[in-house]
């Protein structure tokens, strides 16, 4: 039925210039998709990457932490390159957001543990002293606690698993994979300890109080980031004028509850979004809403600690949500995007589908 909407009325003719223009429009659309990464090679590597991650998680959960580090080493430089080249505003400051902060921190800690366990570096001796005050337990519970907000963000932010698009792949990775890693360490502890003796010390699980250790430690990490980011944001309101976008400005340009609370009319909100002209008060409210979303979401991590079934269901649900969002993107690319370009180009000659016999 949608295709019939492109049928011209009886008085029009399909002359050669019109046909050539149709071909040109389709070619421009195809080139636009290629510029965003759609190619057989990128699709191949994207699908292969997903299959490898899935296979390692299911078959070799004791080694999944290695996959997590290698994925970071491969995907993050690609994302940085794309972020730096983004137009009209660079997106490198997105890396200051909480999700990126968590992933960087987890990778740093894992790498430090590897160095401490397998390389006799004198500078690593301080870790032995830190372990005496249960720093490993604190860090593990902290990282386990922050997985709830990260995993919930897959659904809340509409992350889409788009195989050919590195930016979308990284977005899914930083929100989904920390929880997969937490799952392997929590529920496959014996396999991890047997495979990597001396690397992980996960013998304190019976001592963990979910409501104290998991929730409190994650909340401490979040509050530290929240304070630092809030202060930085107050001095960074003009970053778009300097050529840099921030997650705050990105979110404020979309639907948000901040404008009505500041008595901004829809017209004023639209004008501010077009100019990236937001107030420091709006930044404060944005961070308040951010905390109201993250702090309750840490409770999901507590439930993940208490129940393997809930943890598995939560991971599966968010994975399926990302796949579904990705399928909608591909349905648009294949079924609608070319047709939409043609409709816009030849709007004067197109009959609405409802007007056709």
Of the listed ranges 89-103, 222-236, 247-261, the one predicted with least confidence: 247-261
Nearby residues of 33 by Cβ (< 8 Å), 6 or more positions away: 333, 337
Distance CA 93, CA 22 (A): 40
User: Which residues lie across from 8 on neighbouring strands?
Assistant: 350
Please state whether 197 falls in left (phi above 0), alpha (psi between -120 and 50) or beta: beta
Domain boundaries, the chain: 3-206+308-355
Q: How confident is the model at residue 198 (pLDDT cuts 50, 70, 90)?
A: confident
Distance CA 296, CA 292 (A): 7
Of the listed ranges 14-23, 169-178, 347-356, the one predicted with least confidence: 347-356
Indicate if the pLDDT at residue 296 is higher than 80.
yes
Q: How confident is the model at residue 112 (pLDDT cuts 50, 70, 90)?
A: confident
Instruction: Give me the helices (H) in the chain, please.
Output: 16-35, 40-59, 64-85, 98-118, 126-131, 135-156, 166-187, 189-195, 215-234, 247-252, 258-261, 266-275, 280-306, 308-331, 337-345
Answer with the residue of higher pLDDT: 61 or 136: 61
Indicate if the pLDDT at residue 215 is higher than 90.
yes
Neighbours of 2 (CB within 10 A): 11
Neighbours of 28 (CB within 10 A): 11
Question: Could you give the percent of the chain with pLDDT greater than 70?
Answer: 78
C-alpha 300: how far from its chain's center?
18
Indicate if the pLDDT at residue 98 is higher than 70.
yes
Answer with the residue of higher pLDDT: 14 or 46: 46
Mean pLDDT, to the nearest integer, of 229-257?
Answer: 93
Q: What is the pLDDT of residue 340?
A: 60
Q: How confident is the model at residue 6 (pLDDT cuts 50, 70, 90)?
A: very low
- 298 token code pair: 């840490």
Decide: 21 and 345 in contact? Cβ < 8 Å: yes
Indicate if the pLDDT at residue 352 is higher than 70.
no
User: Which residues lie across from 350 on neighbouring strands?
Assistant: 8
User: Which residues lie across from 244 on neighbouring strands?
Assistant: 90
Q: What is the pLDDT of residue 14?
A: 55
Please state whether 256 falls in left (phi above 0), alpha (psi between -120 and 50) or beta: beta
Answer with the residue of higher pLDDT: 278 or 20: 278
* Residue 94 CA neighbour count, 13 Å, CB half: 20
Neighbours of 103 (CB within 10 A): 22
Neighbours of 123 (CB within 10 A): 8
Cα angle, residue 273 at apex, residues 272 and 276 outer, rounded to 5°: 80
């Amino acid at each position: 039925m949608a295709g019939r909407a492109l049928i011209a009325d009886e008085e029009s003719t399909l002359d050669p210039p019109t046909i050539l223009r149709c071909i040109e429009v389709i070619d421009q659309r195809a080139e636009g998709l290629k510029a965003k990464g759609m190619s057989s090679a990128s699709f191949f590597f994207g699908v292969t990457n997903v299959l490898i991650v899935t296979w390692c998680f299911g078959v070799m959960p004791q080694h999944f932490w290695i996959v997590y580090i290698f994925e970071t080493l491969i995907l993050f430089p690609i994302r940085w390159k794309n972020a730096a080249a983004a137009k009209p505003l660079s997106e490198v400051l997105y890396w200051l957001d909480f999700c990126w902060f968590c992933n960087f921190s987890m990778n740093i800690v894992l790498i430090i543990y590897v160095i401490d366990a397998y390389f006799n570096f004198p500078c690593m001796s301080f870790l032995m002293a830190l372990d005496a005050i249960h720093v490993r337990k604190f860090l593990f519970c902290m990282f386990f606690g922050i997985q709830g907000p990260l995993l919930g963000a897959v659904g809340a932010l509409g992350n889409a698993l788009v195989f050919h698009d590195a930016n979308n792949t990284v977005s899914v990775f930083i929100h989904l994979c920390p929880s997969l890693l937490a799952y392997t360490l929590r529920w496959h502890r014996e396999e991890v300890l047997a495979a990597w003796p001396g690397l992980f010390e996960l013998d304190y699980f019976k001592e963990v109080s979910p409501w104290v250790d998991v929730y409190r430690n994650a909340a401490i990490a979040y509050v530290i980031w929240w304070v630092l980011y809030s202060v930085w944001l107050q001095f960074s309101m003009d970053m778009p004028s300097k050529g840099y976008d921030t997650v705050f400005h990105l979110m404020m340009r979309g639907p948000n509850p901040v404008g009505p609370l500041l008595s901004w009319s829809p017209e004023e909100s639209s004008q501010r979004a077009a100019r990236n002209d937001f107030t420091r008060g709006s930044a404060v409210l944005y961070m308040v809403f951010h905390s109201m979303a993250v702090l309750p979401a840490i409770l999901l991590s507590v439930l993940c600690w208490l129940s393997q079934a809930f943890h598995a269901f939560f991971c599966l649900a968010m994975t399926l949500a990302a796949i579904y969002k990705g399928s909608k993107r591909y349905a648009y690319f294949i079924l609608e995007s070319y047709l939409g370009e043609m409709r816009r180009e030849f709007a004067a000659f197109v009959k609405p589908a409802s007007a056709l016999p």
